[in-house]
Amino acid sequence: MTTKNNSEENETCPAQALLKMLSGKWKPELFRLAADGPLRFSSLLRDIGGANKQTLSVALRELEEVGLLQKVIIKEKPLHIEYNLTETGKSLIPIFEQLENLG
């Protein structure tokens, strides 16, 4: 019988994978704000004190890559972009609510 070492267990643990997806500067805050409805980049810069454009762009892109956020281009005048939680992202809201209650 073979046993897994801790790093192998962490790679297959769903909770560990989720924490890895949400780790990083601004990601938990972005997720929390997205749970309340669509986000626009300009309002995020205003609402998240201390965030700069580059850091915020990277965090949004990473959340989009793991399937928690969806980028929607609104083709109106003026053209703008909104970020929404995906169905996977929405399924995590109860988990965040429980974490918030613990805090």
In a domain, 31, yes or no: yes
Residue 35 sits at φ, ψ, to 5 deg, of -65, -25
Percent of the chain with pLDDT over 90: 41
Q: Classify residue 5: in a domain, yes or no.
A: no
The pLDDT tens digits for 47-97 are 888 888 999 999 999 999 999 999 999 998 888 899 999 999 999 999 888
* Alpha-carbon 61 to chain mean position: 9
CATH of the domain at 56: 1.10.10.10
pTM value?
0.78
Split into its structural domains, the chain has a count of: 1
For the record, the structure tokens of 83 come out as 């970020």
Q: Are 20 and 10 in contact (CB under 8 A)?
A: no
Separation of alpha carbons 89 and 76, rounded Å: 26
- The parent domain of residue 91 ranges over 14-102
Q: Is residue 66 part of a domain?
A: yes
Q: What is the DSSP letter of 49?
A: T
**Domain contains 23:** yes
